[in-house]
Amino acid sequence: MGRLILAGGGDSEQTLSIDKEFVNLINTDKPLLYIPIAMDTKFIPYESCFKWVNGVFNSFGIDNIIMWTENDLINKQIEDLNQFSAVYIGGGNTFSLLEHFNKALFTNVLKEYVENEGIIYGGSAGAIILGKDIGTCSHMDSNDVDLKELSGLGLVENYSIWCHYKIGDDTLISTYILEYKNPVISLPEETGLLLNEEGMKVIGEKPAFIFDGEIRKIIQPGHYC
């Protein structure tokens, strides 16, 4: 099993401590793969995404970043991913992101990559797709691609992931759990989750919240779920 980092969202200052955890995991001599395809290019072009990710990681000494967009995902195999230190999946529209991955059969490649010691960092939408089901984004993302199958990669045990969590979301989360029967890990901005062989540890600056049925549990940074 590889390692995963999930971030609940936020700007580069809010995710700084999470980004540091990520950098400490990877071999910085190898290039980092960046996949920004959740972003709507009508508003933010990929060139701007690439400039942003370099702005985040160049300060950590990571200067070799390769960007893949939709067409680059087609016919890829695990061997194509093994050349990279890690895969960074950026935020945007979760439905669109999963639709692109499914169409290119890239979800299966990512699963195999993680099973073979790969490292994935998912931010916001990139974190949500790593969970069991992406219905947790329905309150903030529009399903313009008419995606019917909402199953995520299922890499976070049996949990679905709720990003940009605020206390006011609790009623929406309860409704989601009633409908989908999945427990939920909710990540505020500035909060992340590190999954490795030791378990699931909350990282970042704020606690994570686990919802399971009627139970709501607070997990502080540095503690395991």
Range of 129's domain? 3-219
Please state, in angstroms and as integers, the Cα–Cα distance from residue 74 to each residue in 35, 102, 139, 150, following that order. Answer: 13, 10, 30, 21
Measured CA to CA, the distance from residue 160 to residue 209 in angstroms comes to 12
In a domain, residue 225? The reply is: no
Nearest to 106 by CA among 92, 87, 91: 87
In a domain, residue 22? The reply is: yes
pLDDT for 133-177, tens place per residue? 999 999 999 999 999 999 999 999 999 999 999 999 999 999 999
How many structural domains compose the chain?
1
Three-state secondary structure of 109-121: HHHHHHHCCCEEE
pLDDT of 142 reads: 98
pLDDT for 64-106, tens place per residue? 999 999 999 999 999 999 999 999 999 999 999 999 999 999 9
User: What CATH number does residue 28 fall under?
Assistant: 3.40.50.880
Do residues 91 and 123 make contact, with C-beta atoms less than 8 angstroms apart?
A: yes
The H or E element containing residue 178 is: helix 170-180
Q: Mapping DSSP to helix (H, G, I), strand (E, B) and coil, where does residue 206 land?
A: coil
Q: Mapping DSSP to helix (H, G, I), strand (E, B) and coil, where does residue 125 land?
A: helix
Whether the pTM exceeds 0.75: the reply is yes
Measured CA to CA, the distance from residue 50 to residue 67 in angstroms comes to 7
pLDDT of 1 reads: 84
In a domain, residue 212? The reply is: yes
